[in-house]
Amino acid sequence: MTCMDDSTRSRYDVVVVGGGHNGLTAAAYAARAGRSVLLLERADHVGGAAVSARPFAGVDARLSRYSYLVSLLPRRIVEELGLPITLKRRRWASYTPVGDGGLLVDTQDDAATRASFRRLTGSDADFEAWGRFYATTAEVARLLAPTLTEPLLPRATVRDLVVGGAGEAAWRTLFEEPLGEVLRATFADDVVRGVAATDGLIGTFADVDEPALRQNRCFLYHVIGNGTGDWDVPVGGMGAVSGALHDAAVAAGARIVTSAIVTAVDPGPSGVEVTWSDAAGRTRGVTAGHVLAGCAPAELERLLGVDAPASGPEGAQLKVNMLLTRLPRLRDGVDPVAAFSGTLHVNESLTQLQAAHAQAAAGRIPDLPPSEIYCHTLTDRTILGPSLAPTEAQTITLFGLHMPARLFRADPDGAREQALRATLASLNTVLAEPIEDFLALDADGAPCLEARTPVDLEGDVGLPGGHIFHRDLSWPFAESDDDAGRWGVETSHPRVLLAGAGARRGGGVSGIPGRAAAMAVLAG
Ligand SMILES: Cc1cc2nc3c(=O)[nH]c(=O)nc-3n(C[C@H](O)[C@H](O)[C@H](O)COP(=O)(O)OP(=O)(O)OC[C@H]3O[C@@H](n4cnc5c(N)ncnc54)[C@H](O)[C@@H]3O)c2cc1C
């Protein structure tokens, strides 16, 4: 998916800055509507944070390098663009090891899930509460998901929708009360509370009790995708999703140029001047009717020449990719297939999450880093080449929480090493065999392990502060009268629109802001 620059036009209806999956989505919609479209991508490939790669020398395993599961991509976008994407449901939602037992949430066996709750908590109370809580989020998902691909509704209208369909308490607990308070009032067990809390803390450096409710917004986006909140496995890896969007954009006539670094965006009354540097380092210019910024808002402001605010976005995760010769056994004897198929929560009780947050907020790498682990190849082995597919080899994705960029600024390499050591030691507390013993070796004899901090992601993908959502997530409705009826992509320049994760209703692999940006242009 690299594309040489043979563009000769000096004006396009639409220039898209950044070829992440959202920029590709915007390009596809605009081109299908007959607009001339040029997409400029800084890297030598498209996809942004939604890509597959072979990170280990000489090893034929194409891992989803950054993002790995799909929930927020609406079926509507898949159908409208005719994307040949296959998503697979996982049988086990999650496993959380605790001492010599653990909490297994089996989506196909309620009795097994009930028994697991009972063993862990000593009664059925939290199992029943779990069922009620997630029935409520499912109802909210059903109500809200269709609104994500329409112009913004006013807050009061969304409130009426939620209250009318899911009840007053649903609105209060999801939109008004800090997640921590809600979980303490809903569940008695610290581990059950923690498992639910993690959805509020993915890529969001917040305490569960934060009054600003960033954790609630993050939680909401994790439970409403496609009207179910299910997180599914993209067959072929995340590169298959971006690849399908790339193909849709090209088929519709969009021109996509990689190794094209946009250096300035200058809006005027009749068009926007876009300056970029091509693969040979030559400065190029083009005029756009509209610029759709698939890059982060902070990057757009830099391109517009706006002074950066004192504090920018801050990501907070350690991403570790591994290839194992086989899955390690767990201390508690649970089947590793069940434990690693869904999300394996490591040291993520509510108390542990809060302790890790407090340590990181005080400037320290947490002693016992909490993390979520998932094995792609238990569900989809197509990402392995013919020499690996028939073996017991498995790919592992580890997403470590509460690792804010500030911990890695002074000494990026030393702090990465320290964070990695602490994270693997934390994982090993639940394994019967240390993970290090199962790392496959690459062609140079080095272990197949890649760790990326927020500071690394800033350099690799251009995520400001390493923030996986470009900036903290916003509520999926208009918060001012002016915004109602708009697409949540507008900036102070009518010809410049956000098209990436930093738009309202952006964040995650969804295509929603890319489509919204194209809709805003087409409506104009
Ligand atoms: C480690 C990690 C794990 C994640 N896991 C998940 C997950 O499992 N599921 C999920 O739904 N989401 C996940 N996310 C979040 C999700 O991947 C992102 O929110 C989403 O991919 C953002 O897409 P985007 O197209 O808006 O932006 P990006 O993917 O950030 O793409 C922006 C593009 O703009 C380009 N660009 C920037 N500046 C310029 C410039 N000046 N000129 C030209 N090009 C430029 C960049 O190179 C980049 O390609 C994860 C993210 C990370 C980092």
Q: Is residue 389 part of a domain?
A: no
Q: Is the CB of 304 under 6 A from ligand 1?
A: no
Q: Is the CB of 18 under 6 A from ligand 1?
A: yes
Q: Is residue 187 part of a domain?
A: yes
Residue 289 belongs to domain with CATH number: 3.50.50.60
Domain match, 198 and 248 both: no
Taking the CA of residue 260 as reference, the ligand 1 atom at the shortest distance is 43
Q: Is residue 497 part of a domain?
A: yes
Domain match, 218 and 239 both: no
pLDDT digits (tens, 9 = 90+) for 311-366: 899 999 999 999 999 999 999 999 999 999 999 999 999 999 999 999 999 999 99
d(Cα 343, Cα 398) in Å, to the nearest integer? Answer: 10
Q: Is residue 419 part of a domain?
A: no
The predicted structure's pLDDT at residue 307: 86
Domain match, 15 and 45 both: yes
Domain match, 472 and 494 both: yes
**Final residue in a domain of this structure, among 222, 253, 281:** 222
Domain match, 214 and 157 both: yes
Domain match, 217 and 258 both: no
242 alpha carbon to ligand 1 midpoint, in Å?
A: 11
Domain match, 211 and 245 both: no
Give the CA count within 13 Å in the CB-facing half-sphere of 206.
27
259 alpha carbon to ligand 1 midpoint, in Å?
A: 16
The DSSP secondary-structure symbol of 358 reads H
Closest residue by Cα to atom 41, ligand 1, is 262
Domain match, 472 and 507 both: yes
363 alpha carbon to ligand 1 midpoint, in Å?
A: 26
Q: For the chain, which residues score pLDDT lower than 50?
A: 4
Q: Is the dihedral angle over the CA atoms 346, 352, 357, 358 positive or is it negative?
A: negative
Domain match, 134 and 214 both: yes
Q: Compute φ and ψ for 221, nearest 5 degrees.
A: -65, -25
**Final residue in a domain of this structure, among 200, 222, 244:** 222
The predicted structure's pLDDT at residue 66: 98
Q: Is residue 42 part of a domain?
A: yes
The total number of structural domains that make up the chain = 2
* Position 50, amino acid: A
d(Cα 424, Cα 443) in Å, to the nearest integer? Answer: 23
How far, CA to CA in Å, does 146 sit from each of 51, 143, 177, 398, 510?
27, 7, 24, 31, 13
Q: Compute φ and ψ for 15, nearest 5 degrees.
A: -115, 125
195 alpha carbon to ligand 1 midpoint, in Å?
A: 26
The predicted structure's pLDDT at residue 311: 84
d(Cα 283, Cα 45) in Å, to the nearest integer? Answer: 20
Q: Is the CB of 293 under 6 A from ligand 1?
A: no
Q: Is the CB of 299 under 6 A from ligand 1?
A: yes
How far, CA to CA in Å, does 368 sit from each of 358, 359, 405, 420, 425?
12, 10, 18, 11, 8
d(Cα 190, Cα 133) in Å, to the nearest integer? Answer: 16
Q: Is residue 512 part of a domain?
A: yes
d(Cα 141, Cα 135) in Å, to the nearest integer? Answer: 10
Q: How many residues does the chain have?
A: 524
The predicted structure's pLDDT at residue 308: 81
Domain match, 207 and 135 both: yes
Tokens representing 263? 């250096």
Domain match, 153 and 213 both: yes
Q: Is residue 249 part of a domain?
A: yes
The DSSP secondary-structure symbol of 384 reads B
- Domain residue limits at 157: 130-222
50 alpha carbon to ligand 1 midpoint, in Å?
A: 6
**Final residue in a domain of this structure, among 174, 189, 222:** 222
Q: Is the CB of 462 under 6 A from ligand 1?
A: yes
pLDDT digits (tens, 9 = 90+) for 375-433: 999 999 999 999 999 999 999 999 999 999 999 999 999 999 999 999 999 999 999 99
How far, CA to CA in Å, does 282 sit from each of 259, 275, 279, 349, 378?
11, 10, 7, 53, 46
Q: Is the CB of 22 under 6 A from ligand 1?
A: yes
How far, CA to CA in Å, does 121 sit from each of 93, 126, 187, 227?
19, 7, 10, 30
d(Cα 440, Cα 426) in Å, to the nearest integer? Answer: 20
Domain match, 200 and 159 both: yes
Q: Is residue 482 part of a domain?
A: yes
Q: CB-based burial of residue 151 (10 Å sphere; 0-12 exposed, 13-18 middle, 19+ buried)? A: middle
* Residues facing residue 399 across a β-bridge: 319, 372
